[in-house]
Amino acid sequence: MNKNIAVIKGDGIGPEIVTEAMKILDRTAEKFGHCFSYEQLLMGGCSIDVNGVPLTDETIERAKAADAVLMGSIGGNTSTSPWYKLPADKRPEAGLLKLRKSLNLFANLRPAVLYSELKDACPLKAEIAEKGFDMMIMRELTGGLYFGARETREIDGVMTAVDTLTYNENEIRRIAVRAFDIAMKRRKKVTSVDKANVLDSSRLWRKVVEEVARDYPGVSYEHMLVDNCAMQLVKDPAQFDVVLTENMFGDILSDEASMITGSIGMLASASLNDTKFGLYEPSGGSAPDIAGQNKANPIATILSAAMLLRFSFDMDKEADAVEAAVDKALKDGYRTGDIMSDGMKLVSCSEMGDVIAANI
């Protein structure tokens, strides 16, 4: 199978970690008889340096023409970089927000996995960490409180701020369908998180999710109030498979889930539209303090590439092979500096890529 991948290496450690992910994709293509071609695009600080803006219209069109987008990290040191002396809409991160909107990326996927080899880094009690966990936070990305009408004005002599939380049934249905589809590729369980005891938007959310669930008799599902979900994430995270929720709740819960894994350098993410198209990137930042030193952990970006194979290309066996190769590297004791512990083998960014590629 031939596929075209738009590559945005970005800033800071982005070029290093994306290079290793491409190494893994090339090895996977060789192993399974595919052909992946790449088109290099600029976004973020590197685009500001060349084009004067963080994202050009040409880059958007070229990204749309690809089968998927693989991205590194965007931005730099906010205290010292000249990029952050520019107006907010001209800074590196503005390019990412514009790209997500232009590509209609409404579904954000944030896996949170605790590898047994890294359980000591988990901040939870040992008896909880010992069980491990593997969940997918499915967050609606383009609606809700963050995108509703807002204003701050004086009413009867009192300054008053208003933010509006709005969802329609179509916005809810499309993210719910995507969540149940992904559950079919995993352990076939969906936990839909809302605040239906208080919010009308959550009551509509729950109604639409129940309608979608009827089309997936092989998937079990449950409703959970967001405050309970926040508690359950630290009490028994192993119970979760796919966690489906709206924008603000997903923003908070995905950060909580990432914290209990112990290392953000291990966390992949994806943002999908209503086709197979998606943008895949690590959850961490650009780490400008170690950029260019071959010290970065490429695993999050490599796992993002595995998600690209699974969700945009329907290459489940290939994605399984990449994830198994990462797992073997960890079991064999290979560590970059951020996850290093006594008795393990310290390797560079490129060496970790080599080890994982050899495992495929």
The sign of the dihedral angle between the CA atoms of 238, 239, 243, 247 is: negative
Is residue 275 exposed (0-12), middle (13-18) or buried (19+ Cβ within 10 Å)? exposed
146 catalytically annotated: yes
**Can 227 be counted among the known catalytic residues?**
yes
Q: State whether 220 and 238 are in the same domain.
A: yes
Of 194, 195, 216, 241, the active-site residue reads 195
Catalytic residue among 49, 215, 227, 314: 227
Task: Give 118's pLDDT tier (boundaries 50, 70, 90).
Answer: confident
Same domain for 80 and 132, yes or no, is no
Q: Considering the chain, what percentage of its residues have pLDDT values greater than 70? A: 100
Task: Say yes or no: 250 and 290 in one domain.
Answer: no
What's the CATH number where 252 sits?
3.40.718.10
Residue 283 confidence class, pLDDT cut points 50, 70, 90: confident
Query: Do 286 and 301 have their domain in common?
Result: yes
Answer yes or no: do 174 and 280 share one domain: no
Q: Examine the residue annotation and report whether 49 is marked as an active-site residue of this protein.
A: no
State pLDDT tens for residues 128-140. 999 999 999 999 9
Q: Which residues contact 201 (CB under 8 A, 6 or more apart)?
A: 144, 165, 166, 167, 246
Q: What is the full DSSP assignment across 191-212? A: EEEE-TTT-HHHHHHHHHHHHH
Q: Indicate the residue among 225, 260, 295 that finishes a domain.
A: 260
* Structural domain includes residue 188: yes
CA-nearest of 143, 60, 74 to 107 is: 143
Q: Which of residues 236, 260, 284 is at a domain's end?
A: 260
Judge whether 215 counts as a catalytic residue.
no
pLDDT tens sequence across 15-45: 999 999 999 999 999 999 999 999 999 999 9
Q: What is the mean pLDDT of residues 178-187?
A: 94
Q: Tell whether 328 is covered by a domain.
A: yes
Q: Same domain, yes or no, for 250 and 143?
A: yes
Residue 111 belongs to some domain of the structure: no
Residue 23 belongs to a domain: yes
Residues 248 and 278 in one domain: no
The count of structural domains within the chain is 2
Residues 204 and 290 in one domain: no
Give yes or no: residues 159 and 254 share one domain: yes
pLDDT digits (tens, 9 = 90+) for 287-344: 999 999 999 999 999 999 999 999 999 999 999 999 999 999 999 999 999 888 889 9
Residue 299's CB: how many other CB atoms inside 10 A? 29
CA distance 168 to 263: 36
pLDDT at position 58 = 97
Q: Which domain holds residue 219?
A: 123-260
Predicted TM-score (pTM) of the model is: 0.86
Instruction: Kindly state the tokens that stand for 60.
Output: 């958007």
> Catalytic residue among 255, 327, 338, 354, which?
255
Of 234, 260, 286, the last residue of a domain is 260
115 belongs to the catalytic site:
no
Residues 345 and 279 occupy one common structural domain: yes
Cα 341 to Cα 76: distance, rounded to the nearest angstrom: 28
pLDDT at 286 over 90: yes
Where do we find the tokens 């991205």? 71
Model pLDDT, residue 185:
86
Same domain (yes/no): 255, 270: no
